[in-house]
Chains A and B, each alone.
Chain A
C-alpha cells in the first residue's frame, strides 16, 4: 500500500480523498493555487505545495507542477478527484511514465470513453444498449425514411459535425421527416460547413439514470446499482438519489449485470459510471465517466462501501473488498448539491462566509470544505458542499432531508439551499415523478 498520495484537486472532493487516505494510514499531499492558500483541503493535508497562481490552467491543471510536487514530496500516487485532470488521458499517462500510480483507469480507457463515437461503438460491442440510429451519415430523404421506420418515431436528425443543439431537428411522424431532414442539412451546412446528418431515436421525457461500476486489476468487476440524476439545470445535476424511484430490483440486476460484464470484458480499472437515458422501461447509453462522480456518496450510503478507499486499494494492486453477491442496497439516499449561487438567476456568489453550521445527526452527511471565515474564491466551481441524507425508505429520507436543510446555515453568501427547501414542497418530487426536463420547466414556472 502507498505511504503517501498527492491529491490533485481542491474543495470538498480533495477533503473527501484526504479522509479516506487518513483512515487507511496514508499521508496526504495537497496542492493549491495562491488563491487557496487558506483552504480547508490545504489545512487538513499532511503537506501542501503551492503549484501556481489562481487561474486553474496554471495551477490545478498545471501538469509539470503537479508531477514535480510528487517528486519533491515523495508521493507515490495521484488521486485526481473529479473535474480538472481526472479525465485527461495524457495526464494519466504522464503520471504512470514517472513511475507513479494514477488512482483511476488506464490512459487508454480514459481516451476511448472521452471520444463519443468510440465510446458508443465500444459499448455497443460489449452489449450495452445504445440509442438506436443510423450507423453513419444519411444522404437522401428516402434513406432517412427507411431508417426512421426501423427505429421508430419520433426521430432526431443531427448534424454529424454538430454540437450545442445546432443542426438538430425533431420529426414526430413520417410526415415531418422530409422537412426536418432538409432543414437540419441546411443548418448544418451553414453552421459547420458540412451538411452530413444522421438519425437517432428521439426520447421525449427520459430520466437520467446511471450505473456505478468498479473493477480491479484481477479481473473482478461489480456494479453498485443506479443513481437517478434526472433533476438537472443546464445539463448540471442538482439533486441525485439512489435507488431511482422507477427502477425495481429485477431491472437493477439486469442493467447492472450488463454494465459489470462490459467493464470486466474491457479490463477496466477503478470506479466508473455508465450513464443512460431511460424511457418506457428501456436504457440508452449516453456516455461513460471514467472517474469518481460528485454524487458518489448516495451509492456509498445505500451500499455501505467507501468508494475512494476501494479506488486507492485498486490502484495499489489489491482486489475488490467485496463481491457482487455481498453488495445489497439498503434504504434510500439523496444528495443536494449546494452551490454558491443566487436564486433565481443562479449567478455565482463568491465571497466571505461569515457563519457556517453543518447539519448533523443520524443519517446526515455534509461533505464540504467551508468554514466560518473562509472566503469562497471567484476562480473555481460554485459547488460549496453536498448534503447527503439516508433513510430506511424514500419517504423517511425526504423527511430527514427536510430536517437537515432546516439546520444548515451558510451566512454571508447566497446559496442554492432555498431551491431544495422549495423542491420538497412539490408533489412531483415527493412522488419521484420527474424527468430530465422537469426542473427547468418548474424553474420557468416558479421563477419566471
Chain B
C-alpha cells in the first residue's frame, strides 16, 4: 500500500511537471491498475497565459459581453512567461519564422541573440519587415507559429 502511495505521489509529481512545462491550465488522468483499483488525478492551476496572449482575431459573440470581459494583459500573473516584457508586433501582418519556406528559422528557443539581430519577419502589404531583437539575450519563448496572422501589439517572443 505504501509503495503504491509513493508511486502515486511520483505520478502526480510527474504530471505537475508536465503541467508546468506545457503551460496547460488543467490535466485530468485516470490510471487503472486492475479491477476496482484506479487512481484519478486532476491537476489545475490559475489561468495565466491564456488571457495574456490576445489572439489576433477575437471572435466575438452574437451580442456584446458584459464590460468586465475586457482582457487585461498586465493583470494576469504569469510566472512562466512575463508577457509584459515580450517583444510585441509593431504592425498588423503575417509572421514568418524563417527567411523563406523550408529554410532554417531565424532563431530557436535557447539561442543567444544580439541586439538588432533579426528574429522573425512580418509580412504586411507584400512587404517583408524584419523584426529585430530589442536587446542582447537568450530566446526564452517563441509565442507565435509560422504563418500566423498577428495584430498590433501581439506578443511575439520573449528574449531575456
Contact = CB atoms under 8 A, between A and B. Distances in A.
A38 interface: yes
A97 to B, nearest CB: 11
Interface stretch (A61-69, A175-183, A386-394): A61-69
A3 interface: no
21 contacts: A34-B152, A43-B60, A44-B64, A46-B60, A47-B58, A47-B59, A49-B56, A50-B152, A51-B92, A51-B152, A52-B92, A59-B152, A65-B124, A68-B92, A68-B125, A69-B151, A71-B125, A72-B57, A72-B93, A73-B149, A373-B67
B151 A49 contact: yes
Please name the 4 residue pairs, one residue from A and one from B, whose CB atoms are nearest each other, closest first.
A72-B149, A38-B70, A50-B151, A373-B67
Given A67-B125, A68-B91, A51 B67 contact: no
B124 A64 contact: yes
Interface of chain A: mostly helix, strand, loop or mixed: mixed
B92 A69 contact: yes
Interface of A: 34, 37-38, 40, 42-53, 59, 64-65, 67-69, 71-73, 371-374
A51 B152 CA distance: 5
Interface of B: 54, 56-60, 63-65, 67, 69-71, 91-94, 124-125, 127, 149, 151-154
Given A45-B60, A47-B58, A68 B152 contact: no
A69 B71 CA distance: 21
Contacts, number: 74
Contacts of B59: 46-47
B125 A48 contact: no
B153 A49 contact: no
A43 B59 CA distance: 9
Contacts of A64: 91, 124-125, 127
Nearest to A371: B67
A76 B6 CA distance: 61
A53 B124 contact: no
A29 to B, nearest CB: 8
Contacts of B70: 37-38
Contacts of B60: 42-48
A65 B92 contact: yes
A440 B152 CA distance: 43
Given A47-B57, A50-B92, A67-B125, 14 more contacts: A34-B152, A42-B60, A43-B69, A44-B60, A46-B60, A48-B60, A50-B153, A50-B154, A52-B91, A64-B127, A68-B125, A69-B151, A72-B93, A371-B67
Nearest to B124: A68
Given A67-B125, A68-B125, A374 B153 contact: no
Contacts of B125: 64, 67-68, 71
